Amino acid sequence: MIGFSNTSHREWQIAATLALDLMIASFYFSGLMSLPAGLAAGAGLGLLIVKVVVLAVMGAALLFGLLRWRFGALVADERDHHIDAKANGIAYGALSFCIVLLAGQLGLDALGLSPWHLSPLLCAHLLLMALLLASGCKALVQLYLYRRGG
């Protein structure tokens, strides 16, 4: 069973980052799905991006401000750097894998060998999803290493 009484400031911060990423991604993609098709989508998308940026800034300020108020300033030591490096390695691996898949699909599409055609907007969204996936991977690996040792 996971106990929260011995959860450190750093673990709370990583969990908050993960929660914020998930919240912003779900807000953005649900907003994107509900946009009308055609010309109106351009203005709607711009407004949605502004809302997402405002939500991200306010959410981060609130969550990290609350954690700082509760635990004080966060100082990293050698174990934090060690875990950060391991998690970054895995996150870059995940991001590279997604980018290779996307580039492969675009290459096949350019040669007329792919049954799917990706519009530039869809490519941008797939890249955004890859970045979010990499960020999520990093946070999960960090949480695992802080709990299980690393």
Partner 1 sequence: MAKGLIENRIRRLRFEHGEMTQAALAEAVGVSRQTILALEANRYSPSLELAFRIAARFQVPLEQVFQYRQAG
At 131, list the tokens: 């970045």
Counting residues that bind partner 1 (by CB under 8 A) gives 12
Residues 3-22 that bind partner 1 (CB under 8 A): 8, 10
Contact with partner 1 (CB under 8 A): which of 36, 77, 112, 119? 77
Rounded to 5 degrees, φ, ψ at 102 are -65, -45
**Under rule CB under 8 A, which residues in 90-149 are in contact with partner 1?**
146, 148-149
Q: Could you give the CA distance from residue 64 to residue 16 in angstroms, rounded to a whole number?
A: 8
Distance CA 36, CA 39 (A): 8
Token readout for 109 is 């599409």
Minimum CB separation of residue 6 from partner 1 in Å reads 8
Shorter beta-carbon distance to partner 1: residue 51 or 79 = 79
Listed in sequence order, the residues at least 6 apart from 110 whose beta carbon sits closer than 8 Å to its beta carbon are none
Cβ contact 145:8 at 8 Å: no
Q: Quick one: which of 56, 80, 90, 109 contacts partner 1 (CB under 8 A)?
A: 80
Instruction: Identify which of residues 10 and 138 has a Cβ nearer to partner 1 in the complex.
Output: 10
| Interface with partner 1 (CB under 8 A) | 8, 10, 75, 77-80, 82, 146, 148-150
